[in-house]
Structure 1
Amino acid sequence: MENLDGSILEAPKIVVPPPGPKSKEILKMQEEMETSALNYPKYFEIAIKEAKGSTIIDVDDNVYIDWFAGVAVVNLGHRNPEIVKALKDQIEKYWHFVEVPSEVRVNFLKALRETLNFDSKILFTTTGADAVEAAIKIARWNTGKRLILAFDNAYHGITAGTLGFTTYPPAKKFQPYYDNNVITIPYPYEYRCPFKDCLNEILSLVEHEVRTHDVAGILVEPVQGEGGYIVPPKGFLKGLREIADKYGSLLIVDEIQSGVGRTGKMWAYEWEGIVPDLVTIAKGIGEGIPLSLVAYKRDLDKLPQAFHLGTYRGNPLGLAVGKATIEYIKSHGILERVVSLGDYAKKKFNEIMEDNYKGSFDVRGLGFMIGVEFSDAKKNPASDFVKGMIKGLLRNGVIMYKAGLYNNVLRFMAPLTIPKELLYRGLEVFEEVLKRSVFSFQ
């Protein structure tokens, strides 16, 4: 029986309907002491005791199948034994200094660069948003241009800098001041595209803007994440690459959510065979230990000393885990597994929706980055329905979360190592909850 990550194979197991009494008590204490800006406890009303592989155990001893993975971070499962070993080995040596060389640093750099299809230099950062800001700085520094072309519904972070490029409206409403040297273009969102020829008309818009403005870089998610797990039509990234080359702009690919094997390639841009100028990397590369960076073409390495600083850049624990993550993906055939099981899951989601949902829907995705969009018969977003689905899934032992401009997309982002039995069982729970939920919606 396959169990790559040490999951609890008996999951899901609901002892006390969540939130149980112990979870309620801890949730109340958190609410009293932490900010009112908390988000996830409003959807996942549980307090975690332990996590193993692709399963979560709460303080009331309920066991859940994890299709959340800490927002696509714990790609190889919680407490994966090989990742734990790498972490323990490094913690016995040292866990913080600065950017002076060390074996763990150089070994990670070698392993990472081997996964990229271009001769790269690496700049370590502290978070995903910091990586995006650094990539923008590098593009502007090298080109002497100031404008960045970004896409509607994009999510690149919510710092004052990245909010200019994050066009996902819910993220912008709390901060009116941000980098406004930005041009925005529709993303080829085929389910809701206003154009007859979504791909070519959008590429024409991109070319017009890049041709008529001083665009330092085109910033793009190869698959939109928070925007709704939107997969662009084939040819989109190639088209952007050609436009960037034609007009002297740089192509910046944001792989923070789509990278580290989540789509069935190490980097999602590989599906189109392009070579980006810069790539932002975070989330899954550190398996929950904060690690982020920008990889960029060697000929862009004209950066002055102290160009981009940060106390926690290149943390040794993250570096050790990052190297172990890359090695694990290679040695355990994870990419092939993600393609195979991802295709199965997408097909199954489609079948379940066709059999049980009477409104309009769209199932899309690559690998373990699958979005299921819910709308009524007139394509109006079914946001409340999705909120109810999240609660219903949790009560039946599956942790799943939303995305999308209208919060009407459920996204499948399970660990890439999830045992097949738990994938199949989770799909059964999904169908059962959907069947019960449609009566309250139709």
Structure 2
Amino acid sequence: IKKPAAVILEPIQGEGGVIPAPVEFLQTIRRVTKELDIPMIVDEIQCGVGRSGKFFAFEYADIVPDVILTSKAIGGTQPLAVVIYNKKLDKWAPGSHAGTFRGNQLAMRGGIVVMNRVSKPDFLKEVREKGDYMRSRLEKLQEKVSIIGDIRGKGLMMGTEFIDPNSAKDSLGSYLGSGEIAARVQKLCFENKLVMEKGGRNGAVMRCLCALNVTKDEIEQMLTIFEKVVIEVDKEVKEGKFGK
């Protein structure tokens, strides 16, 4: 077996269904990659820049990767991507890595503003507090209905996985995620002027990625609509109306 060129992972899977990597997993990967001299690359494009309540999500594991990939949020609505890497990996000669559309001045300025704002401890603390409140509300909703299998995430990157309690369980005794029920919830949310994204296996996870400066009133408005819709769909499932 040839030595791997690198190990690349997301500290929190985004499109994969908002799945935070366990701290022990990240720490073990970091230890093994160091021992074998294999670069560890973390993809922070979706979970980074304050989204998780830390500037970078890998900080929860108290590790330092060799390469960090970030984009989207870092530009403050402007097109910007950044690759941060260990000096020992810098093999490019000065000026040899260039491109026609790089160095956009507006995007660079936007990135500076974002970094200065998001890196403030009070800002990140607020993101964590808003995320904790959302999680507590969603967990209370989970207790009221039968179609929510899991609530997970960090900061303002939350995922709600939907299941069909009328379906058969898998070999581990768990219900599989239901993309149909998630799609129904998504449709009714949209009809109530709330846009939600799906992800995860079978498209069963409803993903909530609010703006980091979302207000408490906006969170309340969002949760009120979401709770109403989920309770309505849960009732449809219990009455056997769903899917007809």
Please report the TM-score for the alignment, with normalisation by the length of structure 2.
0.89
CA offsets, 1:156-184, max 9 Å, x none?
xxxxxxxxxxxxxxxxxxxxxxxxxxxxx
Report the number of matched residues: 230
Taking the aligned partners of 1:360 and 1:352, their CA distance within structure 2 comes to: 8
Displacement of 1:300 in angstroms is 1.6
Q: 2:154 aligns with which of 366, 386, 400?
A: 366
Q: Gaps spanning 5+ residues in structure 2: where?
A: 170-174, 239-244
| Cross-structure match for 2:101 | 312
What are the equivalent positions in structure 2 for 1:203-282 lying under 5 Å apart? Answer: 212-282=1-71
Displacement of 1:313 in angstroms is 1.9
| Cross-structure match for 1:375 | 163
RMSD: 1.6
Taking the aligned partners of 2:147 and 2:231, their CA distance within structure 1 comes to: 13
CA 1:439–1:307: 2 relative to 1, 3 Å: farther
What are the equivalent positions in structure 2 for 1:392-411 lying under 5 Å apart? Answer: 392-411=188-207
What amino acid does structure 2 have at the position aligned with 1:361? G
What are the equivalent positions in structure 2 for 1:50-65 lying under 5 Å apart? Answer: none
What are the equivalent positions in structure 2 for 1:423-442 lying under 5 Å apart? Answer: 423-442=219-238
| Cross-structure match for 2:110 | 321
What amino acid does structure 2 have at the position aligned with 1:404? G
Taking the aligned partners of 2:42 and 2:176, their CA distance within structure 1 comes to: 31
Q: Gaps spanning 5+ residues in structure 1: where?
A: 1-211
Give the conservation status (yes or no) of the 8 Å contact 1:393–1:400: yes
CA offsets, 1:355-396, max 9 Å, x none?
12x145110000001111111233122111111111111211
CA offsets, 1:98-146, max 9 Å, x none?
xxxxxxxxxxxxxxxxxxxxxxxxxxxxxxxxxxxxxxxxxxxxxxxxx
Indicate the SS of the match to 1:294. Answer: strand
CA offsets, 1:257-310, max 9 Å, x none?
011100000001111110110001101001221000210011221223565443
Could you say which structure has the greater relative contact order, defined with CA pairs below 8 angstroms and 6 or more residues apart?
A: 1
Indicate the SS of the match to 1:371. Answer: strand
Q: 2:72 aligns with which of 283, 302, 308?
A: 283
Displacement of 1:330 in angstroms is 3.9
**Greater Rg by CA:** 1
Taking the aligned partners of 2:28 and 2:100, their CA distance within structure 1 comes to: 38
CA 1:353–1:360: 2 relative to 1, 3 Å: closer
Taking the aligned partners of 2:19 and 2:117, their CA distance within structure 1 comes to: 28
Please report the TM-score for the alignment, with normalisation by the length of structure 1.
0.50
Displacement of 1:213 in angstroms is 3.1
Give the conservation status (yes or no) of the 8 Å contact 2:164–2:181: no
Displacement of 1:428 in angstroms is 1.2
Indicate the SS of the match to 2:101. Answer: coil
CA offsets, 1:218-274, max 9 Å, x none?
001000010000012221111111110111100001100011100000001111110
Indicate the SS of the match to 2:176. Answer: coil
Indicate the SS of the match to 2:50. Answer: coil
What amino acid does structure 1 have at the position aligned with 2:43? D
Displacement of 1:441 in angstroms is 2.6
